[in-house]
Chain A
């Protein structure tokens, strides 16, 4: 009976520890989520004002939605969604988003930041472009994206583009953080049910 009681106490202790871990992960993720939402709001506000400033300089007819290119063309930036398989049967699968900016593939070293929680060294790599050539490639694609407003655009418009790029990165981070929150919540609910 003493052995059973001790085993029961140990089991409860493990459950409490697991629950604490899940709660901590959830709270950490929530904190990160709130900061990211603040960053996103700030970068979007900055981007919109810079775009207005560019329109103020260039004129309303030069920066307008009527100049958007309606010809079929591939997207310069894509979002990859991977779903990690759960090692523990109690854990739900967790979706993972990664931003591939300006046509860079995930398995190439790119000057752009891959916002998927992985450092470039951790990503599987098969080809590594020279950094300078990759930089030029990205710069050309950035300019091409703005060329719908003209080939010679002011620095204000380029700065606005940078702000919206930052916002896009923040959105992907928010999506991944949200995924982590839901996963932590799921884990917490599982631990609660078990206990």
Chain B
């Protein structure tokens, strides 16, 4: 059941995630070198200590991500089935993002090596560089992705149309939809507390993606039917909420749909009219609350998912603090920092 690994995650989660006091110190830094100095006292220290000045925010994010990757690899190599499959599922989202990055960059005639440098390390696979030779989705699948874990997700989006910005976006969201549904099905087969907690966490993810797809597609060429096809077939909003979201033409209509669902009333209540930019942060706050609750039960795999996601949120926090310090905008630092635990 992975008792050793669960103990490691619970020990690490409680002791090494940054606290509110750490964030308060970081928010008062005057420069990125100050941030590096404060982080040297944390577990990120060894990853940043050899970085020369002047630091850049992307360097801080890269090195913190490397720490997450090392922890993940340690867990994966110690895990047995079915935990190892569960841990691999967690990385498929990054794999999809990497595939889209390579394909988009190639479409824009960028060098594949600089694209590979920008890929998320958790989503790397052996033949990723070969993606650059494909010109349509059929080739993408046939030449490269057929041998990857993403292969089953391609059945819904294989066409011979040449890749363009809209097709790529539809491919990204279709793949992610198939991935979430597959992950949800896998968690249900595990049963017990894993199925119960992961069902809630993945449903929240599916609902959040539905809202983001709706808001981001307002005023674009994406038709209502195409928008509806990108929503996952599970979650609190499925199916009636999706029908209503598909026809929304502005953010206030989205608010009207979401406020009918009690768990999302509180999210939209935090966002006043005209402040839709704060919606992302409100969703992150709710996500962190749910992820922390996953640690309240024992002997399930959702703690691993929650730990990885909380680390990613921590890296987002560090990225935002670094950007505010680098741009001398410290008054805005609390706009997007979400405290954990």
Q: Which residues of A contact B (CB under 8 A)?
A: 45, 48-49, 52-53, 55-57, 59-62, 64, 66-71, 139, 143, 147-148, 150-156, 159
Contacts and interface: CB of A to CB of B under 8 A. Distances in A.
Contacts, number: 99
Interface stretch (B2-10, B71-79, B113-121, B295-303): B113-121
A67 B103 CA distance: 10
B97 A150 contact: no
B104 A67 contact: yes
Contact of B219 (A64, A69, A139): A139
By Cβ-Cβ distance, the 6 closest A-B pairs, closest first, are A151-B169, A152-B216, A52-B323, A147-B165, A69-B108, A70-B109
Nearest to A159: B277
Interface stretch (B13-21, B136-144, B285-293, B327-335): B327-335
B108 A61 contact: no
B120 A53 contact: no
Contacts of B335: 53
B188 to A, nearest CB: 28
Contact of B118 (A49, A52, A66, A150): A66
B236 interface: no
Interface string B43-78: 000000000000000100100000000000000000
Interface of B: 58, 61, 97-98, 101, 104-105, 108-110, 114-115, 117-120, 165-166, 168-170, 172-173, 212-213, 215-217, 219-222, 251, 276-277, 280, 316, 319-320, 323-324, 327, 329, 332, 335-336
A148 B320 contact: no
Contacts of B324: 49, 52
B329 A62 contact: no
Contacts of B220: 143, 151-152
A173 B165 CA distance: 34
Contacts of B168: 150-151
A63 B98 CA distance: 13
A70 B110 contact: yes
Contacts of B61: 60
B215 A67 contact: no
A164 to B, nearest CB: 14
A53 B110 contact: no
19 contacts: A52-B320, A52-B327, A56-B280, A56-B319, A56-B336, A60-B319, A61-B101, A64-B118, A66-B101, A66-B110, A66-B114, A66-B115, A68-B110, A150-B104, A150-B165, A150-B169, A151-B168, A152-B220, A155-B216
A152 B213 contact: yes
Contacts of B276: 155
A48 B327 contact: yes
Question: Which secondary structure dominates chain B's binding surface?
Answer: helix
A154 B327 contact: no
Given A56-B336, A148-B165, A152-B222, 20 more contacts: A49-B323, A49-B324, A49-B332, A52-B324, A53-B336, A55-B319, A56-B320, A67-B101, A67-B110, A69-B108, A143-B219, A148-B104, A148-B108, A150-B169, A150-B172, A151-B166, A151-B169, A155-B276, A156-B277, A156-B280
A67 B320 contact: no
A70 B104 CA distance: 12
A147 B332 CA distance: 28
Contacts of A153: 216
Contacts of A147: 165
Contacts of A151: 165-166, 168-170, 220-222
B109 A49 contact: no
Contacts of B165: 147-148, 150-151
Contact of A71 (B109, B213, B316, B332): B109
Given A64-B118, A66-B114, A155 B277 contact: yes
Contacts of A66: 101, 105, 110, 114-115, 117-118
Centre residue among A61, A67, A139 by max chain B CB count within 10 A: A61
B216 A154 contact: yes
B118 A61 contact: yes
Contacts of B120: 61
B232 to A, nearest CB: 16
B169 to A, nearest CB: 4
B304 to A, nearest CB: 21
A67 B102 CA distance: 9
Contacts of A61: 97-98, 101, 118-120
A71 B108 contact: yes
A150 B216 CA distance: 10
B105 A67 contact: yes
A166 to B, nearest CB: 17
A59 B327 contact: no
Contact of B215 (A52, A139, A154): A154
